[in-house]
A and B are shown apart, each in its own frame.
Chain A
Amino acid sequence: QKEVEQNSGPLSVPEGAIASLNCTYSDRGSQSFFWYRQYSGKSPELIMFIYSNGDKEDGRFTAQLNKASQYVSLLIRDSQPSDSATYLCAVMDSNYQLIWGAGTKLIIKP
């Protein structure tokens, strides 16, 4: 069974520091990788997506993909209390099915 694994957390990071969220996946043929943020009681919001190996930056967010090692990560620079949320990793497998991780709860401490 195809899986996407995330540490459930909570991951506690001081304000202003870099938060690093990791995700591993089992299907080596996976093609597309997505990071969503979900605040408590709200629906998921797309943060970033990445298709190719390497880094992709958007403002304070950087997605990193390493297909050989089958992991994708999300870095948040200059973390703010408003970044406190659950971060969901989603991976589109070789059959175009989206497999969701269970999410990592991130807490940014002022």
Chain B
Amino acid sequence: GAVVSQHPSWVICKSGTSVKIECRSLDFQATTMFWYRQFPKQSLMLMATSNEGSKATYEQGVEKDKFLINHASLTLSTLTVTSAHPEDSSFYICSARRGRGNQPQHFGDGTRLSIL
């Protein structure tokens, strides 16, 4: 169990476009979902934490108006990169955690975003 599906896996689009990424927990209810960004050869960077039915908590330096997160149900969270620019090109990865507390996070396959 603990399968997380992320879609799309790869996006190429023009500068100024908004891009929506979906993250679904397929076989469990995810009280909390996380969004990460990873640049080539760098560490995972947590962008935000979202709990079902409440506003996301963003990490310092992450623009909440640019990276819109919605966690409308216990199995779905979305990240929308608004008015994307080339510097937003990165590998975006979601994870989901069953319940609260000390349970492990399970990751989706990631979305590779390239802004031209």
Residues of A within 8 A of B (CB): 31-32, 34, 36, 41-46, 49, 51, 88, 90, 92, 96, 98, 100, 102-103
Q: A100-B44, A103-B43 are in contact. Are A42 and B110 (CB under 8 A)?
A: yes
| Inter-subunit contact A96/B102 (CB<8 Å) | yes
Tell me if B's interface is mostly helix, strand, loop or mixed. loop
Q: Is the CB of B61 closer than 8 A to any CB of chain A?
A: no
| Inter-subunit contact A92/B102 (CB<8 Å) | yes
Given A43-B6, A44-B107, 10 more A-B residue pairs with CB atoms under 8 Å apart are: A34-B104, A43-B109, A44-B93, A44-B95, A45-B107, A46-B107, A49-B104, A88-B44, A98-B46, A102-B43
Q: A100-B43, A102-B43 are in contact. Are A46 and B102 (CB under 8 A)?
A: no
B109's closest neighbor in chain A, by CB?
A43
